[in-house]
Amino acid sequence: MSRKPLIAGNWKMNLNHLEAIAVVQKLAFALPDKYFAHVDVTVIPPFTDLRSVQTAVDGDDLKITYGAQDLSPHDSGAYTGDISGAFLAKLGCTYVIVGHSERRTIHGETNEIVLAKTKAALRHGLTPIVCIGEGLDIREQGTHVEYNVEQLRGSLAGLTAEELSATVIAYEPVWAIGTGKVATPQDAQEVCAAVRGTIAELGGADVAAGIRVLYGGSVSSKNVGELVAQPDVDGGLVGGASLKPDEFAALSAIAAGGPL
């Protein structure tokens, strides 16, 4: 089965809503519509930008989609500061990131919380981008494959085959995030293949063949070509490079297969 690559730009806590509009417009200008037959491109801004991004995308009928960086495991109620998946769906979000290593580390999110958020996303028709990844200590011990498989199993426990097929998985080695130290294509392939193998065990061969597995960690226009050329790497979760529209457009075009 051929899987269309997905390039997701996680802006993290960068760009206010006015800057967001400018970045989306520049990105759309730099990445003509014809590329979207070959790659899905999404931006994942802070919550406060989403309404402005929606207006920019709808107003100009852009092919870029957008999503959020987190959501509540609950649908509504007394959860001060949290954002419901229902609100994100109403704003036209396609994706929501769950379990990013910055949330697992800084906010203490466990696999159980990540699973609850994944279920919340699915309840509201959002595509969860479920993140896993090992720290440098695990990589140096050489137990990174087992570590990632366990994190994946914990983050997806009990999901049906149908639910699994509606998710995206992102492998992001923590030591490669924001450091400029990109994993080698072989490193990325090793874990992404193990992810697909685990999905096959959880949901069957067809689900595994269709699910998109992304690599994240210092992805740029210089390395994305080699990464997406790996058989089990279906795109990138991009941080820093997604803040520069020309660079993000260039790497998305490479993921689409090159200049059209």
Ligand X SMILES: O=C[C@H](O)COP(=O)(O)O
The whole-angstrom separation of Cα 84 and Cα 24 is: 24
Which residue of the chain is nearest ligand X when measured via CB?
A: 239
Closer to ligand X at the Cβ: 109 or 172? 172
Check whether 178 is labelled as a binding-site residue. yes
Cβ 121 vs Cβ 85: under 8 Å: yes
Residue 129 CB, nearest distance to ligand X (Å)?
9
Check whether 72 is labelled as a binding-site residue. no
Enumerate binding residues for ligand X (CB under 6 A): 10, 100, 172, 177-178, 216-219, 237-241
Residue 194 CB, nearest distance to ligand X (Å)?
20
Residue 181 CB, nearest distance to ligand X (Å)?
9
Which of 100, 109, 134, 190 is the catalytic position?
100
172 is catalytic: yes
Instruction: Give the other-Cβ count within 10 Å of 237's Cβ.
Output: 28
* Residue that the structure tokens 């009928």 belong to: 61
114's tokens: 């990540």
Residue 124 CB, nearest distance to ligand X (Å)?
21
Closer to ligand X at the Cβ: 42 or 111? 42
Which of 163, 172, 190, 247 is the catalytic position?
172
Check whether 148 is labelled as a binding-site residue. no
| Helix ranges restricted to H, 10-143 | 17-30, 50-59, 85-90, 101-106, 111-123, 136-141
168's tokens: 């995206």
Let me know how many helices (H) and strands (E) the chain has, helices first.
12, 8
Cβ 196 vs Cβ 232: under 8 Å: yes
Running DSSP on this structure, what letter comes out for residue 86?
A: H
Cα–Cα nearest to 44, from 232, 259, 239: 239
Q: Which residues are annotated as a binding site for substrate?
A: 10-12, 178, 218, 239-240
| Residues with catalytic roles | 100, 172
